[in-house]
Structure 1
Amino acid sequence: MRPTPADPEAWNAYLAEGNATQARKRVSADVLLRDEQGRVLLVKPTYKPGWDLPGGMAEANEAPDDAARRELKEELGLDVTLRGLLVVDWVPPHGPWDDQLAFIFDGGVLAPDQVAVLRPHDGELAEARLFLPDEAVDVLRERLRNRFRVAIATCTGSSPSYLHDGGTIV
Structure 2
Amino acid sequence: MKDNTNILTIITWVVLLSAISVLLNDLREFDFNRFEEFQNWAKTADKNESWFASKNVIQWNYYAISAGLFFWRGYLIYGFSYFLSILKEIENGHYFSDNNIKYFKKIGNIFIQYTISVLILRFILALIGESTFNFFNELKAEFTFLIPAGLAFYILAEIFKRGKQAEEDNELTI
For Structure 1 versus Structure 2, the TM-score category normalised by the shorter chain is under 0.3
- State TM-score, norm by structure 2: 0.22
Give the alignment's TM-score, normalised by structure 1: 0.22
Larger gyration radius, structure 1 or structure 2: 2
The structure whose residues are more often helix, as a share, is 2
